[in-house]
Chain A
């Protein structure tokens, strides 16, 4: 047995303990929380140094390569939902934001805002889930911060993450790059994340087998870029506001229109049924593990094949084309045989009364 006593007499009582104001005060209990919970979960050489920032040499960048930085706050309610939780979501969300620039994500930072009284056991579940997601993605969390707010001034746990990545030379992905004639591809079925979260909301709880699709998409992106170097023009993950809002954003940035085919947009029957029941439209429901890609028409088949060969793109589909349209309308030929505008989400999507 080591003659040196451990710094703390009593370890964190993760099973029964709660966050208190001391955990955010920068003293011994804050240090204990960081060491026993965060460091234990995220363990890597940068965190082990125990400094306020991570010092690292920039990766060797070839001429023409560029860095990408993206940041995102995660405030999902409830914090745990079928298929995920705020922890893995906070890794996937930022990894995907970096990846949608066509970049290889390298590092993450994490900032936690914790509410006084939040159970340590739940926090550990979240942190473990986050650490697992970071390890699976191969993108370590190399520095972070913890703050505690008084009971009632937070919603349990808020997590902000920032990601750093590198775009290879010759890759030019931007929302403004879509051109008339380009093809719009979607990596899979839409709406699972939003419906999974809704199913757990207070006063709306319903039984469902739908799981959130939350996942990191950077390896899918790498496979697509390999299949058609230079021909993938736009990448975007349709998160809040769903597919409809994302495509409207791209149409406006690119000063173009779009024409979609409703019958080509994949939606799981369970998602369709839940939306039907709630009076919601799957086109506006959030996703956390899907992407849209706009690519040159001649490269569409190759990119689609690369997507379908990847586990995250098995249900990938060609859902529409970019059109010339001074009004930047996203339109859709409905499965029923009609045509309509697919507009921006107006405010929050709320259930219809009858």
Chain B
């Protein structure tokens, strides 16, 4: 595949791997967080962890939008389907996220909920057009990448004066989550966060640009290298981070310059700010309440806001006490440090956020990398 295979070339990967081995300082430990689930996926799928020097550790951050969706939010979507009888449309991998009472959207569908997998917000809008007698709610999740299409769907719904379409908005913001990882009260609880730099998001940065990360390099002295989701992008970004650390630099560098600019996509940003405003706080699965980390629909578009339309009130649901996701997402612990990893908590039965999607830290390690730390003892629940 043109424009894809070039970024998956094994010969170049081996050269970068050799260069990394030469340049890392043997006495030093390097810990880099890849924020995005897309990077976690690439690292796992291509076996990149094994191609890095042993003293370079990748920490899988909270950038999997499915993983960080709190239980209470899924409960709201299920309530809409089962109690209000609306058609709930959502992205595919949201369907399996565990909710309260051993439910998920897949299981709620089996119980009679009209829950449909869609590939875009526009598809959800089309479902509303085709079912004028039914209420249709788009359960909108994701980071800055999926927010503009949701905004567009709301604007189109308003222009078409659609009366049966609304959005359960759960869009979250990348920079706020990174800030939270660096300075939340939990950081004091866990001690210093052992992160020497960030592999910055790929698709998110196409929308918001590289500028928002300058805060982290300036204020926290953490280098950021924005990278694409292809495996060579990730390896090159790690090499660039190693060089910054070795040279004592903390800058925002852009490995993904083929699509990311400093300012980002201004048209998309304008559309998003027309439709959405900041929430003062939002619960993230695994991270807890994170201030100013999510979006809600502006009052001028309230008729398209499912929370207003159905008078929904959010009820937080605590994660399992044994779950170590909070520490894992901050890089303080590894998946295997959690005592329920691979035993009670598995991809078939995820207990914590990191096990929910293959892009989550624990699920990625379980599905792609657990041969490194066998034996895994499988116990019944």
Contact = CB atoms under 8 A, between A and B. Distances in A.
Interface in A317-348: 326-327, 329, 331-341, 343, 346-348
Contacts of A35: none
Given A273-B1, A352-B359, A339 B47 contact: yes
A296 to B, nearest CB: 26
Contact of A354 (B48, B65, B94, B376): B65
A155 interface: no
Interface stretch (B10-18, B175-183, B274-282): B10-18
A63 interface: no
Chain B interface bracket (under 10, 10 to 19, 20 to 34, 35 or more)? 35 or more
Interface stretch (B38-46, B240-248, B283-291): B38-46
Chain A interface bracket (under 10, 10 to 19, 20 to 34, 35 or more)? 20 to 34
Contacts of B8: 335-336
Interface in A279-319: 281
B47 A338 contact: yes
B123 interface: yes
Given A203-B119, A343-B367, A354 B203 contact: yes
B367 A351 contact: no
B54 interface: no
Given A276-B4, A327-B376, A339-B47, A353 B203 contact: no
Contacts of B358: 346, 352
A336 B46 contact: yes
Most chain-B Cβ atoms within 10 A of its Cβ — which of A269, A326, A337, A348?
A337
Interface of B: 1, 4, 8, 10, 13-14, 17, 37-38, 41, 44-51, 65-66, 91-96, 106, 117-119, 123, 141-143, 145-146, 203, 231, 347-348, 357-359, 363, 366-371, 374-376
Nearest to B232: A336
Contact of B48 (A336, A341, A346): A336
Contacts of A276: 1, 4
Contacts of B374: 327, 329
A336 B231 CA distance: 8
Interface string A60-96: 0000000000000000000000000000000000000
Nearest to A203: B123
A269 B348 CA distance: 31
A346 B118 contact: no
B117 A353 contact: no
27 contacts: A203-B123, A272-B1, A273-B1, A327-B374, A327-B376, A329-B370, A331-B371, A336-B8, A336-B13, A336-B47, A336-B48, A337-B13, A337-B47, A337-B51, A338-B46, A338-B48, A338-B49, A340-B44, A340-B45, A346-B367, A347-B96, A350-B96, A352-B358, A353-B93, A353-B146, A354-B65, A354-B143
A1 interface: no
B47 A340 contact: yes
Given A334-B47, A335-B8, A353 B65 contact: yes
Nearest to A346: B347
A340 B369 contact: yes
A339 B143 CA distance: 30
A329 B145 CA distance: 35
Given A340-B45, A354-B203, A335 B96 contact: no
A4 interface: no
A337 B92 contact: no
Interface in A213-250: none
A337 B106 CA distance: 37
B261 to A, nearest CB: 19
